[in-house]
Copies of this chain bind each other. A is one copy, B any other.
């Protein structure tokens, strides 16, 4: 069986054994089991001390399990987990998620245990995710083995970002963050210590997964650098690949080493390589979520000419500052609006409207004026991308603006990014925009950064396709 097919059994299993399933709602084995109860898959809890959990019959040992289990989620502590894998292999189970820490990251003794897992993975036709893995979460598949609290309510169906993260804490917090403001998650995979499965395996898998349109990695080290880069480059001709690589600096690199027990590569080398191979690098979890969000929601920008629409003059000015600021990402320029566009906007708003871009329709604007001005900008051929500054303070602006903007965006190919703030309702407003299909951000800087990421992506794809074409000729 090829790797893709075997990973499909891991990520979309029919029969799941939970080794160490527990009655307790506090224990990891109890939490994971209850999460999986919502998966509509056949579950086989194993625990010598229990006979039934939540109405499920419990097997006393691994030998009593059926022979066609697809995945064993092992919630036992380190040493017991290794023994369980050995027994499961005898039972013919092909896939494993090992939750426990206490392996390579805690010194010599743990390293020995991890080496045993490595050898098992080498000697047998199995896949091991972890140890020290946060688990997997695929909303569309109803699969969730993540034992820590993660606010998944906003990570609704039809999400298209595959997130592959090495560190547990960063993964959980990014999940929580994303769920506050709306985020379309296709899959979340916690790599943990990578004793067997690693970023390269999941890069291959999600490159070919039809439901994924953007891949994001949080990595502290990249072991098979060459393999990862060339596979990522191939992927990047079709789907954006974003990498948050922690450990840029010398001190950070040695911190990575003590955190995961592995060496982080030299940062300059990594940075140059990522760029060359068409990978978009980000520097923290906020930027990771922001970038993957815009890349999965918008398909690109034909150029870098930005129009800004605002009812709040000051923010229009600030936004222009950010657009014209030098930045290591793609350069942006303020679009020069056509005379026809200016005329249309003035007609739709006020004779004194400042139409030079940023277009400031002032706090006297209404929903209708906003809508018609946006429409004029969408139609302007000199505009590649629009940043809408949506505020609800002006008396003529209502919350209907969300639907108005969403409808305009649905009916157009031109990318539109929204910056909005709404006091304590900001997060909720951004979430509602997300539900309506609009990529929105709560600060000028982040909205403009998202625009750069999008423009950069289009340029990367163009370059990679060009290179590919040259090679073929």
Contacts and interface: CB of A to CB of B under 8 A. Distances in A.
A311 B169 CA distance: 9
Interface stretch (A42-50, A74-82, A148-156, A455-463): A148-156
Given A283-B322, A324-B249, A421-B173, A426 B255 contact: no
A168 interface: yes
Interface pairs A-B: 3 shortest CB-CB: A167-B314, A176-B423, A169-B312
A352 B391 contact: no
Contacts of A312: 167-170, 173
B255 A356 contact: yes
B169 A259 contact: no
Q: Max chain B CB contacts within 10 Å: which of A258, A287, A356, A427? A: A258
A284 interface: yes
A244 to B, nearest CB: 8
A445 B286 contact: yes
Nearest to A153: B424
Contact of A354 (B149, B151, B249, B259): B259
Contacts of A364: 101
10 contacts: A169-B315, A170-B318, A173-B315, A248-B325, A249-B324, A250-B324, A255-B317, A256-B317, A258-B354, A284-B318
A287 B358 CA distance: 22
Given A252-B317, A255-B317, A360-B255, A169 B391 contact: yes
Interface in A379-426: 391, 393, 421-424, 426
Interface of A: 101, 106-107, 148-151, 166-170, 172-173, 176-177, 179-180, 218, 220, 246-252, 254-256, 258-260, 283-287, 311-318, 320-325, 334, 352, 354, 356-358, 360, 363-364, 391, 393, 421-424, 426-427, 443-445
A320 B391 contact: no
A430 to B, nearest CB: 13
A387 to B, nearest CB: 13
A321 B318 CA distance: 28
Contact of A172 (B169, B172, B393): B393
Contacts of A354: 255, 258-259
Contacts of A251: 320, 324, 334, 356-357
Contacts of A150: 423
A334 B247 CA distance: 13
Contacts of A443: 284-286
Contacts of A352: 106-107
A149 B101 CA distance: 49
A320 B252 contact: yes
A190 to B, nearest CB: 11
Contacts of A313: 167, 169, 255, 259-260
Contacts of A172: 393
A151 B334 CA distance: 34
A421 to B, nearest CB: 5
A311 B220 CA distance: 16
Contact of A249 (B247, B284, B320): B320
A445 to B, nearest CB: 5
A393 B146 CA distance: 13
Contacts of A250: 324
A255 B355 CA distance: 9
Contacts of A286: 443-445
A391 B173 contact: yes
Contacts of A423: 149-151, 173, 176-177, 179-180
A231 to B, nearest CB: 23
Contact of A254 (B218, B247, B321, B356): B356
B168 A363 contact: yes
A290 B115 CA distance: 46
B317 A180 contact: no
Nearest to A308: B255
B247 A317 contact: yes
A248 B260 CA distance: 44
A218 B314 contact: yes
A92 to B, nearest CB: 33
A134 B97 CA distance: 58
A176 B106 contact: no
B101 A363 contact: yes
Given A169-B391, A283-B445, A423-B151, A259 B360 contact: yes
